[in-house]
Chains A and B, each alone.
Chain A
Amino acid sequence: MIQISDLHKSYTMGSNSLHVLKGLNLEIDEGEFVSIMGSSGSGKSTLLNILGILDDYDQGTYHLGGKLIQGLNETRAALTRNEMIGFIFQSFNLISFKNAMENVALPLYYQKVSRKKRNLIALEYLDRLGLKEWAHHLPNEMSGGQKQRVAIARALISKPKIILADEPTGALDSTTSFEVMDILKEINDQGKTVIIVTHEHDIAAMTKKIIRLKDGVIEEVIKNGELQLFKDRIRTE
């Protein structure tokens, strides 16, 4: 699903150039449930932005679903995002003046689906996430967990190939965090590729593969079978 080879990215800040990604290679298959970890400055946010086609890269290649993603103009990038990727953000990023249903329906609005139809689909997705009664509430009337579930519904509604979650549990307490992770796991069980960026070990441990970044390259990849080991290790840390 995702093939990245020799990816370089640097930011220029005034006269300084900051080399963030230094020849990163990464492969994620369809249906995987992956978490990307790393300390701040390791390049995980940058990688997420490139994965989400929110930012361009300098060198190397990035294939998403067999398609080379490189030098897209804003319109193409927006369309590709809309079609291939579902985003979940740490601070939910719901539109404050739209109710839950309208928020969920937003990606379909950009696909020019009629209002009636997209609201119907949005209700269906809210129902799947147990929020049907909240469909006509505004975001500020909902709890953090509910808001994140609305955001997940929004990410799912356009039937994307991958779900990109940037610290999805960062703003939630641990009980709610586990609920959200359960939902993400469920989504993964239905065959969707889910990628999470997190710095919380216990959240990462709930995924099936952990990619640890350090200084712009992959330090280690912990696969499914070794997860128990990883769990033990973090307990001792």
Chain B
Amino acid sequence: MFDIDRWNEIWNALAKNKIRSLLTAFGVFWGIFMLIVMAGAGKGLENGVVQGVARFATNSAFLWTDRTSEPYKGFKRGRYWNMESEDIQYLKSNVPELEIITPKNFGGRFSSGPNVIRGKKTGAFNVKGDYPDYVLIDPCTVLKGRWINEMDIRDKRKVCVIGEKVFESMFEKDENPIGQYLKISGVYYQVVGLIKPETRININGRTEESVSIPFTTMLQTYNMGNQVHFLAITAKAGVPVSVLEEKVKEMIKKKHSIAPTDLQALNSVNIEKEFKQMSGLFLGIQILTWIVGVGTLLAGVIGVSNIMLVIIKERTKEIGVQRAIGATPRMIITQIMMESVVLTTVAGYLGLSLGVGLLELVNKIMESAGTKPGEEVFFSNPTVSLTVAIAALIVLIVAGLFAGMIPATRAIKIKPIDALREE
């Protein structure tokens, strides 16, 4: 294998048909390049999306109400109804699988005009009534101050936690918002915290553009009685969320005289299910990548096989001479297979390196550009794993062997006499 004569022969055979060798090599190069770039891009998309939701509690589900769609127990269809604060205590004591249960109410929406005022500054933001436990489900980073605590809930304190966008429009850049007051829908609240979301899952408006006040404060201040707009739950370890989701829904429906068959009255979303769907999607992308990539590669390999056939045709006489003076068929086969493998491997290795290089470049650019807070980037760290690279390399060598097989068998079918006969 490390015979200088053999390499000399390989080099000469390929150099004789420079342009053809190059074009053929390009086929393989492009195949592997595409495979790597596509695999990397797929991975980047996956990384981007997964990073956006990674910290989110995957064992969670969310419930909210709508008008009923079926008449039940004397109620007409089309009835408006709400969950109530009492439901939470009721569920806590009756559903042992429940780990966290936290309500969330929605005050003013930014779409209904400016609702937040500070001095001469005004802004339209989402106002949410939250419980301390909510950050266990949708984690956020506290940049300044703190998140809502139990005492805020108990004392119905008029405090608020603001997102970054709120800070930007209501305060000067170097101002400390903590301790300052904001007038939200006519009532003053003291800012106690500035937060930044860790995930890109948003409920009723982006967290950056939201103001959170204690849930109990919201009920009292805005005359919501005991309404609950939105309920977030998580399951204890080992309990599938979908099971918990169904159980909770069933209990709430029963308590509020909603038909068990009514699909519209109580909506829910199950994050576990969404995650599964998402990983299915990424698996699909991966499979597609490989099908397309290997297909392109195959086209390249067929090209290599083709040029090897041409080379052999041109070298008929040479092969004939070699056989006449004692080269065994095995030697000829090895020679041609080696040529084929060298051509595919060198071209493929170049494609592999360039593909990885391009991914690295994209990564560098993305890193240096940086992502501004709150920017929706669904693409991050596009890389291929070592496994993929090694798999691609093995595919290449095997492909080279296959590409060499047909020409090699053709070569040993050449009878020395046919090769030597004068034209």
Q: Are B326 and A107 in contact (CB under 8 A)?
A: yes
Judged by a CB distance under 8 angstroms, whether B318 is at the interface is yes
- Decide if B328 is an interface residue (CB 8 Å cutoff): yes
**Residue numbers in A under 8 Å from B327 (CB-CB):** 78, 110
Stretch from A18-26, A60-68, A91-99, A182-190 forming part of the interface with B: A91-99
User: What number of A residues sit within 8 Å (CB to CB) of B?
Assistant: 31
Chain B nearest CB from A152 CB (Å) reads: 13
What are 21 A-B contacts defined by CB distance under 8 Å?
A49-B417, A54-B324, A54-B415, A54-B420, A74-B328, A75-B328, A75-B330, A78-B323, A78-B327, A79-B328, A81-B326, A95-B318, A95-B321, A96-B318, A97-B9, A98-B8, A102-B5, A106-B322, A107-B326, A109-B5, A158-B325
Q: In the bound complex, do residue B420 and residue A89 qualify as a contact, i.e. CB atoms below 8 Å apart?
A: yes
A-B contact count (CB 8 A): 69
B320, B326, B329, most chain A CB atoms within 10 A? B326
Q: How long is the Cα–Cα vector from A54 to B418 in the complex, in angstroms?
A: 9
Decide if A90 is an interface residue (CB 8 Å cutoff). yes
Interface size on B, residues (CB 8 A): 27
CA distance A98 to B325 in the complex (A): 15
Looking at A78, A102, A106, A110, the one whose CB has the most chain B CB atoms below 10 A away is: A78
Could you say which residues of chain B place their CB within 8 Å of the CB of A90? 422
CB neighbours (8 Å) of B326 from chain A are: 78-79, 81-83, 107, 110-111, 158
Known: A82-B326, A115-B4. A110 touches B331 (CB 8 A): yes
- Cα A132 to Cα B50 in complex, Å, equals 72
Contact: B329 with A78, CB < 8 Å?
yes
- The residue in chain B whose Cβ has the minimal distance to the Cβ of A109 is B5
Q: A90-B422, A106-B322, A110-B325 are in contact. List 4 more A-B contacts (CB 8 A).
A: A54-B415, A78-B329, A91-B422, A102-B5
Cα distance A91–B421 in the bound complex, in angstroms: 10
A90 CA / B422 CA spacing, docked (Å): 9
Give A residues with C-beta under 8 Å from B: 45, 49, 52, 54-55, 74-75, 78-79, 81-83, 87, 89-91, 93, 95-98, 102, 106-107, 109-111, 115, 154, 158, 166
B contact residues around A83 at 8 Å (CB): 326
Q: Within the complex, which residue of A74, A81, A97, A115 is in contact with B325, where a contact is CB–CB below 8 Å?
A: A81
Which residue of A is nearest B416, CB measured? A54
B328 — which chain A residues lie within 8 A by C-beta? Answer: 74-75, 78-79, 110
B324 lies within 8 A of A87 (CB): yes
Cα separation A98 to B416 with both chains bound (whole Å): 20
Which residues of chain A have C-beta atoms less than 8 A from B325's C-beta?
A: 81-82, 87, 106-107, 110, 154, 158
- Type the 1/0 row for B394-423, where 1 means its CB is closer than 8 Å to any CB of A: 000000000000000000100111001110
Which residues of A have CB within 8 Å of B9? 97
Cβ-defined contact, A75 with B4, below 8 A: no
A49 to B329, CA, bound (A): 18
Query: Which one of B317, B323, B324 has the greatest number of beta carbons of chain A within 10 Å?
Result: B324
